[in-house]
Structure 1
Amino acid sequence: MPGAVDVLATWEAGTTAGAAERTLLLHALARPRAGVADLKATAVGQRDAELFALRGALFGDRMEVVVGCPDCGEKLEFELGVRALLGDRAHQIPDGPGSSERDGSSELDGSSDPHAPQVLHVDEGSWSVDFHSPTAADLEAVSGIGDADAARKALLARIVIRAERSGRKIDASRIPAPVQQAIASAAAVADPAADVRLAMQCPECSQKISAELDISEYLWRELDVWARAILSDIHLLASCYGWSEDQILALSPQRRRYYVERCVDG
């Protein structure tokens, strides 16, 4: 589990960063021995599973989620358990941040790298396509493309390894919509943590709601609240006792809270 110093350093670096860079910073906190290239080459679902593990190590398994109904505006508040949410994928989550090696091999041509994207295959009509699960680098490369159709085609160009129609090789840009949908469905089944969606019904208007749970955004909001609170504690304790930031962060949360309460109560 990362220490408070490392977590604060990640928060500080992320305060001026964009969403993609924040996600990379959080992933580096979850897998500190990995280089940037390795993190970006990780399958998106594997990355998000590791971010869920980081969240569990820092703040516990239970997640409080608030979803607004798009029709009536009613706020739906409920709790989720990380491992229950991921279901069968939960056994693939590391025991905690920093776990970068595991036993077993991946499904990528027998590779021993558990973080590598899977090579997948779909047959749809006369089409036969081999492709790999999208990686963090793939999503980052297309994130700046404003047009959804253009972004989808750019992503296809990155992940398709081979596309054939009736035995003839075809460029990925010519893959039709039904085959694109088959590719997306196969990727979702193979890498379910890459797109965690919550299905619910509004108790007020009965509207069915499907909401994406973006673990990177969720974790960053929690980390921001935690960092600002602990910096306030540091300011208070430094003012009362003259301790340095390092000395204060070296205290256990329980002892730090005790001293804060003494300062507040006088």
Structure 2
Amino acid sequence: MSRVRPPGRGAEQRHRVRDLAEPALLLDAWDQASVAPVAGRGAVLVRLAGLCPDLDSALDLGVGECAALATLAHLRAFGREVAGVITCSSCGELLSAQVSLPAAEELVAAAAAGCREVAVGEFTVRAPTTRDLLAAAATPDRAYAVLLSRCVRRGDGSPVDPAQLTQEEAALLDEAAETITAATMTTLCVRCPACGEHVRAALDTAAVLWERVDIAAPALMEEVAVLARAFGWSEADLLAMPAARRAAYLERVET
């Protein structure tokens, strides 16, 4: 993995990244993402972080591009360090891994690659979008067929029927889709202490971003509840209060 540099301010300014850890925005993010389908949470958070003009645009991002922008939002709100768990493909051991997220400039470049298409024989393959994943999730028994019909076209522009593909064609199409998506994904890499195998896995940064929001928002709500009971202040007043001052008042309540 390349050496990680601190995120550049220029990249953040160009993308007008909003801080999802800012109290009022954090609760809005939790409100909206908690009721969204699991596959759509990353798009919701990317939009709220100011990295897309609206939700429709976020849903139409390639999943790798959405992951890159979710990583940028994570950098702004929660920093570079992320912990993950990988299962060793050789022996099944559960491994803990720590990764430093890429610099903002790298993420902006990755996101700018967009939802690219590649030619595979007579087919054209594009990376799936969040909207594609939601459509597939709506019919789980046909999820693979739905993704193929939406993301793969024959030379004449017609959709692909999975039943008409050979095993070799299906494998090539899967590999092409993974290659497109992987270009903008963050990777965990760790050596398994049990068997010595070097294990690599893509980090779902959209899911990681949601996990951080889902931890931080309830903790903030608990602070607000404690201070509101103690002092009678409104939620709006408490959310506008600097975090250090909220913490100081919490200490006085607890003592």
User: Please, what TM-score do these two structures have when normalized by structure 2?
Assistant: 0.76
Distance (whole Å) between structure 1 residues aligned to residue 90 and residue 253 of structure 2: 48
Where does structure 2 lack aligned partners over 5 or more consecutive residues? Answer: 1-17
Change (3 A) 1:251 1:115: farther
From 175, 179, 192, the counterpart of 1:185: 175
From 127, 134, 139, the counterpart of 1:140: 134
Kindly report which structure 2 residues correspond to 1:155-234, keeping only aligned pairs within 5 A, or say none.
155-163=147-155, 172-173=160-161, 174-192=164-182, 196-206=186-196, 209-234=199-224
Q: Which moved more, 1:202-211 or 1:178-187?
A: 202-211
How far the C-alpha of 1:212 sits from its partner, in A, is: 4.3
Change (3 A) 1:257 1:75: farther
Change (3 A) 1:67 1:256: farther
Aligned residues: 234
From 52, 61, 75, the counterpart of 2:71: 52
Aligned-residue identity in percent: 26
Higher helix share: 2
Instruction: Give the match's secondary structure for 2:188.
Output: strand
Amino acid at match of 2:135: A
Kindly report which structure 2 residues correspond to 1:236-255, keeping only aligned pairs within 5 A, or say none.
236-255=226-245
Instruction: Give the match's secondary structure for 2:102.
Output: helix
- Bigger RCO (CA 8 Å, 6+ sep): 2
Where does structure 1 lack aligned partners over 5 or more consecutive residues? Answer: 95-113
Aligned twin of 1:4:
23
Distance (whole Å) between structure 2 residues aligned to residue 179 and residue 60 of structure 1: 42
How far the C-alpha of 1:217 sits from its partner, in A, is: 2.3
Change (3 A) 1:144 1:5: same
Over the residues paired in the alignment, what is the CA RMSD in angstroms? 3.1
Distance (whole Å) between structure 2 residues aligned to residue 36 and residue 9 of structure 1: 14
Change (3 A) 1:185 1:64: same
How far the C-alpha of 1:80 sits from its partner, in A, is: 0.6
Amino acid at match of 1:55: H
Q: Deviations over 1:59-110 (max 9, x none)?
A: 10111223455887754333211107x9x9534267xxxxxxxxxxxxxxxx
Distance (whole Å) between structure 2 residues aligned to residue 200 and residue 33 of structure 1: 33
Q: Deviations over 1:133-191 (max 9, x none)?
A: 221111211123434xx432321211223337xxxx87622333323333333333333
Aligned twin of 2:116:
118
Change (3 A) 1:16 1:33: closer
